[in-house]
Amino acid sequence: MDQTRIEALRDAPVPPATLLIDGEPRNASDGATMEVISPLDGQVLTTIPAGTKADVDDAVTAARRAFDDGRWSELPPAARKAVLLKWAALVEEHALELAVLGVRDNGTEIGMALKAEPLSAAGTIRYYAEGLDKIYGEIAPTDPSVLALVHREPVGVVGAIVPWNFPLMIGAWKLAPALAAGNSVVLKPAETASLTLIRLAELALTAGLPPGVLNVVTGAGAVVGEALGLSMDVDVLVFTGSGGVGRRLLEYSARSNLKRVYLELGGKSPNIIFGDCPDLDEAVKVSAHGIFRNSGQVCVAGSRILVERGIHDEFVAKLAEFTKTMKVGDPLDPTTNAGAVNSLRQLEQNLGFVAEAREAGRIVIGGERILEDTGGYFMEPTIVTGVTPEDRIARDEVFGPVAAIIPFDSEDEAIAIANGTDYGLAAAIWTANLGRAHRMVRAVKAGVVHVNTYGGSDNTVPLGGVKQSGNGHDKSLHAFDKYLDLKTAWIKL
């Protein structure tokens, strides 16, 4: 990693951002802006436009026009592939620039940001570029006097609302398959992490994506997100974020054109450590990274660590010792293990959970804001024991560096605790017993279940939740299902 270049990029001025509508940069229709506060020092980094309903309407109109005239939707698959592959190459070429800009905007440590943001996004774009001509229609086996064809067609205009924790990675999970399928998109980034997604869209234009096919409108969720949700000309809406916002988007769909809405709404993921864990030290290290990297701001974070009672005290002691070795601080220092919390609001929410946990359990380590003299939003990794499954810290998503440790005595109890929340996004099982591993994979209600690891899946497998963690899937070829309609042709011979 080129630390000299990182330092130069750290201090580079960031010009005010613009919307991107119909291939052209523009300000909000009323000229309003929002300050971008860097979580590294609490200072204003730049501004983004505070988009309006009129801006959303313009973007949706541009997207519909681009879709209907076929400038992208009717291109041969090979031509779309060529543009997407060039886009992926440009993202890789500008990876360090994008990573540093993202760190300054949302606080992720640079080691994780470089890999998980631009490099991950480039890989995702390339994956769907290579996959777009592998999706075939069907010939149904029906009466031989009829030719029954099933066509797959792009849905039209997609609205995509992306969160602040991994904007490029999650943005690419939605943009790449939607565009590869031939759709047009209106993208709304999070207010506290818009800058890299604007740059990503600019690179798409440079790669040859026609104007109007990808539009970006920044601004408040209550304005821009609502306008997308209520639009009568958005065919599909995809969202990653909170359950409360997800519910509102479903309401907006019902109040407008009944657009399909696909939601990924986070989780309270159980990381289950059995007494026959094959390598307890490895489980400790992976579990720590699974909750403390990116300051716990990860949808699939293993925030509930369920530990079999016979090894509970040993595991907690080892986890505390390992956590002490993790460096929290300047996210642009490559030796940092956990960077800044995204915003002051999020930091205060995290500390509120910890304040409750002081009564509900025992703080083994952490629990405080640190490095206040920097002006940034930094928090100690926090381990809480004495937690019961009924405590709020064991049921609600904190989205911060807070691990709740819960003991259990049997496989059945572990399953009951694991499934005892409204969420079902991810989980992990640590055991040397192959039979137990298979039983637990089937029994735990989650979209992805890791065994003897946590995280690390690639684009070949889907990510989606059950229960109140959402519906639909990002990643894998299954993601195309959200962005393609099925049309039957019933032809009498």
Which residues are designated catalytic? 264
- Rg over alpha carbons for the chain, rounded to the nearest Å, is 23
Burial of 158 (0-12, 13-18, 19+ CB in 10 A): buried
DSSP code, position 463: B
- 379: which 2 tokens? 């928090």
Q: Could you tell me which of 314, 366, 307, 375 has the C-alpha nearest to residue 340?
A: 375
Q: Can you list the pairs that 438-445 forms with residues at least 24 positions away whose Cβ atoms lie under 8 Å?
A: 439/411, 440/272, 440/411, 440/414, 440/415, 443/415, 443/419, 444/270, 444/272, 444/415, 444/418, 444/419, 445/418, 445/419
Beta strands in 235-300, from DSSP E residues, in sequence order: 236-240, 260-264, 270-273
Cα(333)–Cα(345) distance, rounded to whole angstroms?
24
- 52: which 2 tokens? 């309006």
- 83: which 2 tokens? 């543009």
Please count the residues of the chain.
493
Task: Name, in order, each residue with C-beta under 8 angstroms of 313's C-beta and a sequence gap of 6 or more.
Answer: none
Cα(278)–Cα(290) distance, rounded to whole angstroms?
18
